Amino acid sequence: MRLKNCFEQLQASNRKALIPYVLAGDPSGQTVNVMHQLVASGADIIELGFPFSDPVADGPVIAQAHERAVSQGVTLTDVFAMVSEFRQTDNVTPIILMGYLNPVEIMGYERFVEMAADAGVDGVLMVDLPPEAAGELHGLLQERGLDMIKLITPTTSDERIKKICSVASGYLYYVSLKGVTGAATLDTVEVAERVNHIRQFTDVPVCVGFGIRDGESAAAISRTADGVIAGSVLVSELAKFATEGQAVVERVGEKMTEMRSAMDSLQDK
C-alpha cells in the first residue's frame, strides 16, 4: 500500500519518483543512517540491496560493495533488522529489497516473505528469478501484500514483456543499458521510445535505472519514465566512508538533492 500511495501522490503533484539504491551493510553500521539521509534529501522510494557473494549482474562498484558487506558477515536477517529500525521513525517511505535468489532459497521462501513483511518491506526484486519460475514466491508475496518488482531490458522481446507484466506489480524496472550496473552512457531518446513501448503492455509504473549519475541525466529520464533509479553513483561515494566518514553520507544526500531539484524543475515547466 505504501508503494501504491507513493505513486498516486507523485502523479497528483506531477512529479516523478526518485529511487536510490544502496547495499545493506555497506558502509558497515551506517545503512539506516544513509536511508534516512536519502529520504531527507528527496528520495521517494528506497531500493535496499542485500549482500551476495556472486552478484553477476552488477558492475565492479556494486560488486565490491557486496564483497565488503559479505566480509562483514551481513545476512538477510541483519537486513530485516535494518528495515525494522528504519521503520521506527519512517513508516511512509516504501522499501524494496533487491538481490539474488540464492540467499532467499537458503532461508526459504515462506520465512523470507514473513520476515520481510514483518520488518516493513513493501516489495522484492529478484535479479535472477525469471517470470516462469516466479509462481511460488509471487503467490507468497501477494498473500502478504508485497509487490514483485520485475526487470525489463533493451533486448526483452514483446512476448517476454507480456509474461513479465503478468507477475509484476509496484513498478517495472527498465534497465536502460545493455551490460552490468554502472556501465556505458545513456541514450535518452532510445530509452524514451522503449519506455513508451513497454506501456502498451501494462498500467504498472515504469522506472528507469542504469547510467543515471547526476541531475541532468535524472531529469532527462524523468521526461518519460515514472521514476528514476540511481545506484552506482551513490554506492561509489559510500565506499569512501572508511576514510572520510560522515561527510560521505552528506555528499550522497547532496547528490539526491541535485537529482530531485533537476527532476522537479523540469516537471514545473
Catalytically annotated residue among 26, 44, 47, 226: 47
CA distance 85 to 121: 12
CB of 65 within 8 A of CB of 239?
yes
Q: Which one is catalytic: 8, 26, 44, 58?
A: 58
- For residue 45, what is its C-alpha cell? 522510494
Active site residue 47: yes
Known catalytic membership, residue 58: yes
Active site residues: 47, 58
